[in-house]
Amino acid sequence: MAYIGKQPVVGNFQICDAISVVNGQAAYTMQVGSVNVSPESANHMIVSLNGTIQKPNSSYTVSGSTITFSSNLATGDVIDFIQILGDVLSIGTPSDGTVTTAKIVDGAVTSAKLDSGVALGKVLQVITATNTVERTTTSNSFVTASNTLTVNITPSSSSNKILLLGSFPMHINGSASLGVHTIYRDSTNLGQTNFGFGYVYSSNANPVSTNANVFLDSPSTTSEITYQVYIRATNNTVFISPNASTSTLTALEIGT
């Protein structure tokens, strides 16, 4: 239910740092861990002077972080302790096991705040590209398999890995020939220079093979990177995604 007037302030219990009495001085600054603290009011404190608990707003008053005794203290007086029962600046440190999931604001805990051991092995994002358009080439050098068979991904941490999963049908127009496939990261061939990650070999006309790539990449960057499937031929024409079959390339960011 709503409160009428000022809502009660929930705070933590604090003991102020020791205060040295100055002869003829009534006002003193209250600190915890050498940092000024401001109680909610004089009634939110327990003050002991010379072994006697003092009466709030009579024996002392409070303004901000300053406590002022009703009369000047003298040499020999001892401020035994000042205990603050409520802190207007924060709720303090919650006790172990008291914070529930419902108390955490959605989106407040980011991957950057997670301990690396907690995020280890988790899939942080998945991006997939598909292609159904037939691509042909007679090039002996690697060329793009398709402009749409491209994945752009921005890793959230330079230490994370990118798991690449590729699947695409290939066939060759002719015999005694190879069709080679690979994956590039930007301008870098992640497979072997000439043979990429694999190939389809033709001993008869128009053999069809569904090729697959599985590769764990370490890009070591938080900038956007592009992964793309490339193919090349030897002495005959190579086709990818024949007969409108679907080719796919998927990039998964793995937390490490």
The counts of H helices and E strands in the chain are 1, 21
> What distances in angstroms separate CA 207 from CA 133, 160, 199, 245, one per listed residue?
18, 38, 12, 15
Which residue, of 35, 69, 84, is where some domain finishes? Answer: 84
Does a structural domain hold residue 190? yes
Instruction: List pLDDT tens digits, range 193-209.
Output: 877 777 776 666 555 66
Please tell me the predicted confidence (pLDDT) of residue 116.
47
Range of 176's domain?
117-254
User: Do 53 and 168 belong together in one domain?
Assistant: no
Task: Flag whether 68 is in a domain.
Answer: yes
Predicted confidence (pLDDT) per residue in 229-245, tens digit: 888 887 777 777 655 56
Overall domain count for the chain: 2
In a domain, 146, yes or no: yes
Helix ranges restricted to H, the chain? 116-119
- Angstrom distance (rounded) from CA 52 to CA 59: 11
| One-letter amino acid for residue 124 of the chain | L
Q: Is the same domain home to 128 and 219?
A: yes
Q: Which residue from 55, 28, 30, 31 is spatially nearest to 43, judged by alpha carbons?
A: 55
The CATH number covering residue 121 comes to: 2.60.120.760
Examine residue 209 and state whether it is found in any structural domain, yes or no: yes
| Measured CA distances, 246 to 93, 98, 163 (Å) | 55, 52, 20
Residues 124 and 234 in one domain: yes
pTM reported for the whole predicted model:
0.52
Q: Are 245 and 166 in the same domain?
A: yes
